[in-house]
């Protein structure tokens, strides 16, 4: 018989996918990845943060917008924008950094019940108050979920 390999649990798997997506970010300030799943943890959508399509990326020379104001669309917003499933089917959000207040408000408008994150964002305290007020759960993902 061959060696038995343990399968990573769903949280670890989805957080690894979010971490991989973050590497696609075009933002020089912060790289964020997001995965949205249904109640059965089937992937509905995914996204990463970056400037609008066609704009010069912050990470490239010649971009002056990012010198005075961040022009990136956040990973959660990009995932929501590209989600073809009805918003009520979103049950879990796996994201490398906890959502900002604006993204948290967007997620509250969906059926999302759980947010798993690796690191706290600058707006964690105020954003988490909104999330908890909506009777939802915010979960710190296990650190091993970022090891390949």
- What residues are labeled active site? 76
Residue bearing tokens 């207040």: 101
- 96, 117 Cβ separation under 8 angstroms: yes
137, β-bridge pairs: 114
DSSP state of 79: H
Q: Which two tokens stand for residue 9?
A: 């649990």
Short-list 109, 113, 98, 93, CA closest to 44: 93
């Amino acid at each position: 018989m061959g060696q038995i390999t343990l399968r990573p649990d769903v949280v670890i798997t989805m957080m690894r996918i979010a971490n991989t997506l973050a590497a696609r970010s075009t933002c020089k300030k912060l790289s964020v990845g997001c995965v949205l799943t249904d109640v059965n943890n089937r992937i509905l959508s995914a996204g990463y943060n970056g400037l609008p399509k066609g704009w010069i990326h912050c990470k490239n020379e010649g971009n002056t917008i990012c010198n005075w104001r961040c022009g990136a669309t956040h990973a959660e917003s990009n995932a929501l924008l590209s989600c073809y499933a009805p918003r009520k089917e979103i049950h879990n959000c796996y994201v490398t950094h906890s959502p900002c207040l604006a993204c948290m408000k967007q997620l509250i408008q969906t059926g999302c019940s759980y947010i798993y994150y690796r690191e706290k964002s600058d707006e964690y305290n105020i954003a988490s108050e909104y999330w908890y007020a909506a009777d939802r759960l915010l979960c710190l993902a296990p650190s091993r979920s970022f090891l390949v």
